[in-house]
């Protein structure tokens, strides 16, 4: 990663401009061309420096829902269960923890009922009980990591 990549990451954490050509405007602010910005972003995604570029939505305002869920996966079957959970389109991301509930993941659905249906299917396909931890209160934490 060079200084331009660092500038891209630091700059875009605040969001892309809302306009017809957001990458062009962002590139101009960075002093590079739009094609170079797109190429560099593709490289940062391909090499795993970035995992995602996109907006964050308040899904509830659009009628959807999300929840934090967890399960206890036996160590000898962890990889299979993780692959099964990750194959669900409702699962946004998955984390391994050193706890009895060793697999934590976010489930997002188009409707609140979709959460329950997804959890039921995950339980069926993994053979593991899924614990649902819905949000009880929302906090806004604007985390920006300077690189």
Residue 2 is predicted with a pLDDT of 95
Q: What is the pLDDT of residues 7-35, one digit of tens each?
A: 999 999 888 889 999 999 999 999 999 99
Q: What is the pLDDT of residues 72-129, one digit of tens each?
A: 999 999 999 999 999 999 998 889 999 999 999 999 999 999 999 999 999 999 999 9
> What is the spatial distance between Cα 40 and Cα 50, in angstroms, rounded to a whole number?
11
Residue 53 is predicted with a pLDDT of 87
Residue 62 is predicted with a pLDDT of 85
More confident residue, 137 or 116: 116
Residue 97 C-alpha from the chain's centroid: 17
For residue 57, with 0-12 CB atoms within 10 Å meaning exposed, 13-18 middle and 19 or more buried, which class applies? exposed
Query: Cα angle at 38 between 30 and 25, to 5 degrees?
Result: 40
* 34-46 vs 22-30: helix crossing angle, rounded to 10: 100
pLDDT category at 146 given cuts 50, 70, 90 is: confident
Q: Which two tokens stand for residue 11?
A: 């700059």
* Residue 106, helix vs strand vs coil: strand
| Domains recognised in the chain with CATH numbers | 3-46 (no CATH), 59-133 (3.30.70.920)
pTM across the whole model:
0.66
Residue 55 is predicted with a pLDDT of 77
Catalytic option among 21, 80, 93, 117: 93
Residue 136 is predicted with a pLDDT of 86
Question: Would you call 93 a catalytic residue per the annotation?
Answer: yes
Phi, psi of 45 (to 5 degrees): -75, -45
Strand runs (DSSP E) across 13-119, as ranges?
Answer: 65-71, 91-96, 103-109
Residue 143 is predicted with a pLDDT of 72
Q: What is the pLDDT of residues 33-63, one digit of tens each?
A: 999 999 999 999 999 898 888 877 778 888 8
Contact between 95 and 106 (Cβ < 8 Å) = no
């Amino acid at each position: 990663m060079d200084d331009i990549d660092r500038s891209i990451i630091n700059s875009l954490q605040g969001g892309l401009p809302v306009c017809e050509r957001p990458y062009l405007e962002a590139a101009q602010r960075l002093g590079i061309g739009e094609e170079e910005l797109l190429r560099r972003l593709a490289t940062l995604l391909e090499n795993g420096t970035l995992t995602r570029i996109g907006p964050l939505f308040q899904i509830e305002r659009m009628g959807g829902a999300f929840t934090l869920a967890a399960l206890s996966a036996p160590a000898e079957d962890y990889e299979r269960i993780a692959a099964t959970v990750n194959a669900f389109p409702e699962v946004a991301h998955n984390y391994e923890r050193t706890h009895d509930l060793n697999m934590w993941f976010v489930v997002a659905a188009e409707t609140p009922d979709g959460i329950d249906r997804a959890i039921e299917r995950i339980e069926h396909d993994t053979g593991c009980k899924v614990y649902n931890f819905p949000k009880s209160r929302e906090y806004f934490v604007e985390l920006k990591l300077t690189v």
